[in-house]
């Protein structure tokens, strides 16, 4: 029986080759072989981009230290001295401090990432806009977390405490987190996950930021895990 199944797969590949469709069918076969455990599982290697203290990066590292479904391979940071760099060092994860010129040369920068085997990018409080070339090189493979319920309170300049101050100034009854794919507009790509909390009557931007962080730490790592799989 197994010889028949194996023979059938080989015939599919031969026919695909003859009709110039080999790459498509070989990719399909590889998926089957991985599922059967004949080929090793493709390794997911993420780079976390962060600009600040990196509490989300820390939680993601912690989670995948236990779960082993994702390899956190690189921390990319645009601010020398940012807290996230200490977190990377303590966890023994390589970090890269980038300058704007290198970052804007998206072709060169994405090659640096590809050379390190990076398969996915996670933005965890990263404040620079992602250049179109990098989005093209990692199509649907870049995830961002935003500390509000998009599409409200997103866009240029909407980060960290500015978001929470705007939510309170608008008198909204709820806020939350949005985890979404990254496209060429700020805070705009397809939403993967959203969850909300009620705003307390005596809420301040600081108290809301703290409660939103708890929500992010609780959900972000598991959302990343299901997204990559
Ligand atoms: C997080 O709250 C994240 O949602 C936000 O920056 C914070 C980073 O905190 N991102 C944005 O505002 C992006 N628009 P952390 O450095 O402690 O992870």
CATH class of 44-228: alpha beta
Q: What share of the chain is helix, strand, coil (3-state, %, to 5)?
A: 45, 20, 35
- Could you tell me if the CB of 145 is within 6 A of ligand 1? yes
Catalytic residue set: 146
The model's pLDDT over 135-163, given as tens digits with 9 standing for 90+, comes to 999 999 999 999 999 999 999 999 989 99
Which of 54, 78, 145 should be mutated for ligand 1, with most atoms under 8 A from CB?
145
CA of 17 to the centre of ligand 1 (A): 48
Token pair in block for residue 134: 């990098």
Q: Which residue has the tokens 């199509």?
A: 139
Domain ranges in the chain are: 2-35, 44-228
CA of 11 to the centre of ligand 1 (A): 51
- The Cα–Cα gap between 90 and 170 comes to 40
- The Cα–Cα gap between 92 and 212 comes to 28
- Whether the per-residue pLDDT at 106 is higher than 80: the answer is no
Q: Residue 85, SS3?
A: helix
The model's pLDDT over 152-195, given as tens digits with 9 standing for 90+, comes to 999 999 998 999 999 999 999 999 999 999 999 999 999 999 99
pLDDT band at 42 (very low <50, low <70, confident <90, very high): low
- Could you tell me if the CB of 48 is within 6 A of ligand 1? no
Count of Cβ atoms closer than 10 Å to residue 83 Cβ: 17
- Could you tell me if the CB of 56 is within 6 A of ligand 1? yes
pLDDT band at 12 (very low <50, low <70, confident <90, very high): confident
- Whether the per-residue pLDDT at 66 is higher than 70: the answer is yes
The model's pLDDT over 94-105, given as tens digits with 9 standing for 90+, comes to 999 999 998 988
């Amino acid at each position: 029986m197994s010889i028949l199944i194996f023979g059938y797969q080989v015939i599919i590949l031969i026919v695909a080759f003859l009709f110039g469709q080999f790459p498509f069918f070989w990719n399909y076969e590889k998926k089957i072989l991985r599922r059967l455990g004949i080929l090793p599982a493709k390794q997911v290697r993420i780079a976390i981009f962060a600009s600040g203290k990196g509490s989300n990066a820390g939680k993601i590292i912690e989670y995948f230290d236990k779960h082993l479904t994702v390899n956190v391979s690189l921390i990319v940071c645009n601010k020398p001295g940012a807290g996230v760099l200490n977190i990377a060092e303590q966890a023994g994860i390589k970090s890269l401090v980038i300058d704007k010129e290198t970052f804007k040369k998206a072709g060169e920068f994405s090659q640096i990432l590809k050379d390190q085997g990076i398969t996915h990018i996670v933005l965890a409080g990263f404040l620079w806009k992602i250049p179109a070339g990098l989005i093209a090189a990692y199509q649907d493979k870049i995830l961002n977390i935003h500390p509000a319920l998009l599409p409200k309170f997103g866009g240029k300049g909407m980060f960290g405490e500015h978001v929470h101050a705007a939510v309170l100034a608008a008198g909204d009854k709820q806020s939350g987190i949005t985890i979404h794919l990254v496209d060429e507009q700020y805070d705009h790509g397809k939403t993967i996950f959203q969850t909300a909390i009620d705003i307390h009557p005596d809420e301040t931007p600081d108290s809301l930021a703290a409660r939103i962080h708890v929500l992010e730490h609780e959900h972000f790592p598991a959302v990343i895990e299901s997204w990559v799989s």
